[in-house]
Amino acid sequence: MLEKIIKIGIYLILFIPLLVSPSTLYPYVFGKAIAFQIIVEVLFILWLVLLAQNKIKISWTKINIALLSFFVILVLSTLLSLDIQQSFWSSAERMTGLFNWLHFGLYFLILSTIFSANNGDYKWLLRISLFVSVIVSTWSLIDWQPRLFGPLGNPGFLACYLLFHIFFAFYLFFKDKNLYWRIAYILITILNLITFYFTSTRGAYYGLFVGLLLFSLLFILKRSKKIGFILLISFILIGGFGVYWQRARFLQTEEARMVSWQISWRAFKERPILGWGPENYILAFAKHYDPDWPITEWFDKAHSNFWEFSVTTGILGLLAYLGLFILGVINHAPTGPILIAYFIMQLFWIDTTITLMLFFMTLVLCEKRFMKI
């Protein structure tokens, strides 16, 4: 009974992207993070009961060990932070401090031990998530803006959310033999691709394009050279079409972001081992900011996860973060396209509760070797 309740709670988490809390200062971020934390905490208590009853088995896989190492470094970086309170709690605008990160660790633990790869649990997990993505895309299209953001409040966050679901639909299409489900996956992918395109997020475009190329190459190696080459040519043409119609945005130069990365390099060299502490990027930015630079923006994030981890958690945190992607691909090659697509996007972007939720869910799918091509 408790196991079923936990599964229902995990399914409920998938609907959090639809939550907007207008009474809070940051309605698209704060409410989602709090809801995620509360649900995970309740599920963890139920999970502990099952653990005490010896109904749960924890296995020490490579990904589990990599995650444990990552969290140990995150804790150490927080303890040695310039502002421990900020590192632990973060801000209502971001909600990506150690406190929330630890909830993602619990989320991974619960999901990986409660769900089974053999009884269709993960298939339904992705199906429900795809259903929610349909609502997110429809909401975003109805609430039309020059750059769509829908219930996620930011085009980049929406693009990253849809990026995962485009790949989820691809994997399910080749895994599921039911014709009606396959048709549904195609229709969902078309809808999500349309919405994804109108987010006009270049980093997401880069990630999707590279991810789809890798998906095609894996298909050539594992399934069918003919179909794989058709997919490869199709993705190249679609990518070329997208670049042509968004060429004005692709040709833009974001001077502020480039300056931020210069500051990141200077800050990294000052505290290279464990960094300035999670969520303390603004302190590094303030110290190394040069008033002669022609920008007026003030960055509390590096707008690149590579530089964010480099500055805030140092080389140890960066290597631990990169290790999650490397071990994920090594552990299960078919998961490579989605992890690499996400990683490329995060070279130009940052995370929020919803994108981290999908990242940790993908790591579980990778650990269980659920993704097939």
Please, are residues 20 and 139 in contact by the beta-carbon 8 Å criterion? no
User: Is pLDDT above 80 for 232?
Assistant: no
Say whether pLDDT at 355 is over 80.
yes
342 — pLDDT class (breaks 50, 70, 90): very high
Max CA separation in the chain (angstroms): 64
Verdict on whether the full-model pTM lies above 0.85:
yes
Q: What is the pLDDT of residue 223?
A: 73
By the 10 Å C-beta count (0-12 exposed, 13-18 middle, 19+ buried), 216 is classed as buried
Burial class (CB in 10 A: 0-12, 13-18, 19+), 180: exposed
When mean pLDDT is compared across 216-220, 222-226, 300-304, the lowest value belongs to 222-226
- Phi and psi of 65, rounded to 5°? -65, -40
Residue 237's contacts (CB-CB under 8 Å, 6 or more residues apart) are: none
Do residues 77 and 278 touch, judged by C-beta distance below 8 A?
yes
> Distance between CA atoms of 94 and 115, rounded to whole angstroms?
30
> pLDDT value at position 369?
87
Chain position carrying tokens 């200062």: 25
- What is the rounded distance in angstroms from the CA atom of residue 148 to the CA atom of residue 154? 8
Residue 15 has pLDDT above 80, yes or no: yes
For residue 254, pLDDT beyond 80: no
Is the per-residue pLDDT at 173 higher than 80? Answer: yes
Separation of alpha carbons 367 and 65, rounded Å: 11
Task: Quote the CA–CA distance of 360 and 103 in Å, as a whole number.
Answer: 11
Q: Is the pLDDT of residue 247 over 60?
A: no
Name which of 265, 268, 304, 300 is nearest 286 in CA terms. Answer: 300
Condensed to tens digits (0 to 9), the pLDDT of residues 111-132 reads 999 998 777 899 999 999 999 9
pLDDT at position 112 is: 94
Query: Can you tell me the mean pLDDT for 197-216?
Result: 92
Q: Which residues contact 314 (CB under 8 A, 6 or more apart)?
A: 77, 268, 271, 272, 273, 274, 275
Summarize pLDDT for 28-62 with one digit per residue, the tens: 999 999 999 999 999 999 999 999 999 998 888 99
pLDDT value of position 25: 92
Contact partners, residue 53, CB within 8 Å, separation at least 6: none
Helices (H), the chain: 2-13, 30-52, 62-79, 84-89, 98-114, 121-142, 155-175, 179-197, 202-222, 225-245, 247-250, 255-270, 281-288, 305-331, 336-346, 353-367
